[in-house]
């Protein structure tokens, strides 16, 4: 599992069918928002946390979660969809992250991520992740 611990580990469940290390196959992870979550403190969750959720999901489902510390190195083409603007993240939501590797160069991965709430896409983004030396 990725090295994050409470309060910054956001992924609750990584679902079966995750990709093997080095594979481009998509995988999925889920996150349940709770009212006492450290990031919310009883209020709505900031939408920007969706990027961190996608990054953590990427490390888990692409098989790098147990390899050591990975870093979110960048995000581009981030789109917060109308469904999120109409109703922000709130306690009780279950978010499903689907991620797939789109490119790799040494220990740098480019990942396409999509975050869904109740089967409706709320955020999409391209992420760049940096893995520890020797991990590809």
Q: What tokens does 34 get?
A: 């709770």
**CB atoms near residue 3 (< 10 Å):** 12
Count the Cβ atoms, other than its own, within 10 Å of residue 73.
14
pLDDT digits (tens, 9 = 90+) for 63-84: 765 555 678 899 999 999 999 9
3-state secondary structure of 50: helix
What's the confidence (pLDDT) of residue 62?
A: 75
* Neighbouring residues of 53: CB distance < 8 A, sequence distance ≥ 6: 10, 11, 31, 95, 97, 115
CATH class given for the domain over 13-130: alpha beta
pLDDT higher than threshold 90 for residue 131? no
CB 111 within 8 A of CB 126: yes
Reported as a single tens digit per residue, the pLDDT across 29-59 is 888 777 665 555 656 678 888 898 898 888 8
Task: Tell me the domain boundaries of the chain.
Answer: 13-130
């Amino acid at each position: 599992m990725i090295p994050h611990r409470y309060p910054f580990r956001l992924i609750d469940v990584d679902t079966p069918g995750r990709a093997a290390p080095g594979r481009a196959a998509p995988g999925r992870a889920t996150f349940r928002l709770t009212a006492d979550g450290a990031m919310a403190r009883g209020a709505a969750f900031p939408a920007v946390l969706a990027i961190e959720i996608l990054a953590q999901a990427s490390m888990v489902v692409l098989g790098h979660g147990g390899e050591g510390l990975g870093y979110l190195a960048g995000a581009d083409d981030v789109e917060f969809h109308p469904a999120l603007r109409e109703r922000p993240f709130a306690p009780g939501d279950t978010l499903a992250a689907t991620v797939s590797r789109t490119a790799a160069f040494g220990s740098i991965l480019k990942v396409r991520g999509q975050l869904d709430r109740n089967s409706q896409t709320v955020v999409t983004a391209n992420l760049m992740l940096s893995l520890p030396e020797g991990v590809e």
